Amino acid sequence: MRIKCCGITRPEDARYAESCGADAIGVVMFSPVSKRSVTPERAREIFDALGPFTTTVAVSHTASPEDLEKMLALHPDAIQISHPFAFREKPAAKLIRVIGRNDTLPTDCDAIIVDDSHGNGKNFDLPHARDTVQRSGLPVILAGGLTPENVADAIRQVHPYAVDVASGIETAPGIKDHKKISAFIAAARKDVT
C-alpha cells in the first residue's frame, strides 16, 4: 500500500516519515485557515530534507493562479488541488484532484483523492469511496479520518491505490507524533486482503 503523510510542517517529521517508509510527503500551502499551512520557503526546507525516491506533494485549496504558480515553482513531484483550475498545458508536476461526494469524476489529472475532510479528521464516506474506486479509471487515494487503528480496515473495504493521513498522526495540528507515524505505516502495510 502506498502512503502519503500530509500536513507536514517540520523537516524532522518529513525525514522520520520517510525513514518509516512513507512514499509521499505533503505540505499544505496558501491555506491561511489551516494550522498546517507553511510558506514556500518552509515547503522548500521540508522537500530538501527528503531523499530522491520520496514523492513531494504541494497541497492547497487556493483559487489563486498566482499561488498555484508559486507552488509549481518549488518543482514538487505532484500538486494536490481542490479548485478546478483549467490548465492550457499539463503542469510538469503530476496533478491530483480532490473530490467530495457531490463532485463529478475528473479525467484531466493523474490521480483523484477522495476527501471530504480537508485535514479535519472527518471520516471518509465509505459508499462514496468504494464507488469512486470502482468507477474511476485513475488511481484513487483515500483520505479522511484515517488513523493507525482504522487504516487497515479502510484499505480492506475500499481497495484504494493509496492512503493519505494528516490529523491521524498528530499530537496537534501540524505537529506529527512519531509513534503514530510508524504505527500508521505499519498498519497500512500489514497484509490486508
Report d(CA 133, CA 93) in Å as an integer: 23
Report d(CA 65, CA 19) in Å as an integer: 34
Please identify which of the residues 13, 67, 115, 116 carries the catalytic annotation. 115
The C-alpha torsion from 127 through 131 and 132 to 137, rounded to 10°, is 160
Those residues whose C-beta lies under 8 Å from the C-beta of residue 115, and which sit 6 or more positions away, are 98, 99, 100, 124, 143, 144, 164
Residue 57: strand pairing partners: 26, 78
Please say if 20 is a catalytic residue: no
Please say if 5 is a catalytic residue: no
Report d(CA 125, CA 141) in Å as an integer: 13
Report d(CA 56, CA 7) in Å as an integer: 12
CA 131 to chain centre: 20
Report d(CA 106, CA 148) in Å as an integer: 30
Q: How far is CA 183 from CA 64, 77, 78, in A?
A: 37, 26, 25
Please identify which of the residues 6, 13, 67, 164 carries the catalytic annotation. 6
Could you list the active site residues? 6, 115
